[in-house]
Structure 1
Amino acid sequence: MDYAVAALVDIDDYMASEQARGRSWARRQLQHADQVVRAATRSRPGATCRPQPPEEWLVLLTGADPDALMSDAAALAEEVRACMVRETAWTATVSLGPPSLAGGGTAEHDARLANDYKLVLGGDRVIAPPPPARVPLAPPVRIEQELSRRVRAGDHNGAAGLLAGWVDRCAREPDVDPRTLRNWLIGQLLFVVDVANRSRLTDGSTDWVEACARLPIEDIVSVGDIHERSYLHIWLRETLGRLMPPPPRRDVLALAEAYLAEHYTDPGLRLTTVAAAVSASPFYISHLFAEERRTTFLRHLTGLRLQHARRLLSTSPLPIDVIAARTGYLSAKALRGAFRRHVGCSPTEYRKAGLRPCS
């Protein structure tokens, strides 16, 4: 009686590296990887190798002794991993199925079931058939509140990044398996669809017919085909980008200006604070101030603070240190420095001159 063991060789982070370095580079690396797998296969009598484009190879080993087959498959897996690092710019994961009767057609299926665990274990390893595990009932952390904020702000990159980080955290949970992790993620995706969908039925519930037109169910189901977290991160960005068109750039700027107008008296206010509040990157907000307002974030903030300071100097007898505290400066000295740089005189001179702030 002959047995078969399948070893599935899977290049790690293939899609991410192809996007970063180009298709031509990836094609050349695949040629080197193919040579590595075929060389390891040729050294084992009776072994066969079948490429699974674009970045997988199925190696099938057959023999009469199942224990010897598993030992040989494990040795092949370690050889391929070591040679892949040496001969290519990649690492590889090799997943092994348990011995099965040759010709039964289950060897490849079993190897792919093992390879599915790459989603939770990560790459650059040999994955053997996992033992049954106790499955946790709930994810270790919940992110719905922050996820809702980013979705409502139209920040699809921020929402995708939050989900990607959450998936990475959940994957480290003891005993979690790929099926459970995907079910948790699908729950979050349905939550995103619900929050992003503006259409409601007369009773206030979500119009799921309209919602599923924006994110078809088959797109969500396709998560089940992903076993690489780097590709899952790419998929999340693309999927949420389709589901959540970004807000117009002027809306982002208006949100930033409104936040500044409300919080400029906070001496700890920073560009990063505003960026987080409006779900945009600090670089993008700086770019909008430069392009749309011909100024900088700091100049705009300073203008708000000094406008308030001039008003208080003209309309109240408050001491300079009190005015500094009320306008976002940590000390009277800091206010005096800003006044001299931007107004051309000290706060005291401004008050004595009886000047009035511009409206």
Structure 2
Amino acid sequence: MPQRSVLLTVFDGLQSLDVTGPVEVFAGAERHTPGSYRIRTASPDGGPVRTSSGLTLVPDGSLADAADPHTLVVPGGAGTRDPDPRLVEWLRVHGPRATRLVSVCTGAIPLARAGLLDGRRATTHWAYCDRLARDHPAVRVDPDPIFVRDGNVATSAGVTAGIDLALALVEEDLGREAALTVARHLVVFLRRPGNQAQFSAQLAAQTARREPLRDIQQWITEHPDGDLGVEALAARAALSPRHFARAFRAETGMTPGRYVDRVRLEHARRLLEDTTDGIGQVARASGHGTPEAMRRAFLRTLGTSPAEYRRRFRPAPVT
């Protein structure tokens, strides 16, 4: 099996976990399968860099001296808001030579500056998706997934999503058992699907300003298996269905139906991860009603069935 070289670019103002997260995944895979990865870091001038949290990282060398890697990883952080021109120019020349090109969080910004995301689907931290789309209209920005694969280019959302993406790459390279061993060691799931949303429903939606609507949001969360149709929710809020639907969307940013769908899906996921309840029981408790209805919801949103989700994402005992 050929050894894959992994190069992580480092620079002032990077988010430390964007580097250390993927490094721990690839290093864990190397321990599991010796000779699988050779990990290096490089800064624009070879000197130490200071992360956004104040940590100082000492790289292995400079970008100018770095060999073209198999997997090139560009982290995010405050230092990507106005990226170092030396980094952007180096990426412009060397990025296309990498077998795999990866960004974590706002590391997508220097990739886009270098023209490496033009015509591709990509994501970044939710707070910067609008900016990425505005500044780089040739990039097809998808704000929802935690990571996106488009050919040999992979981009991920904020911080911990870089760990999910790195685990996906290890599974691709070395197989499920190697990735599962690394995930168990790090006490994380193997693995959140790339098209899982960056937000929970409660985080994705704004909190309503008016108390009756805030109460409805809380009611939905606490009663996913209840009657959550617009008419029933409107009656609880003492509003007409039409007024309720319009006000809910105006104040939360999503329709009542979409909010209910997200809450029910998240409730089902938690039950699959945290309990041994049967699929039918989970479907009823989460408000989907039937296993088939829940299966359609999972396939539509997560790209996997409830049974497969449980198999992959329920933590195995650490031994």
TM-score (normalised: structure 2): 0.32
Name the one with the larger helix percent: 1
Rg: which structure is higher? 1
What TM-score do you get using the length of structure 1 for normalisation? 0.28
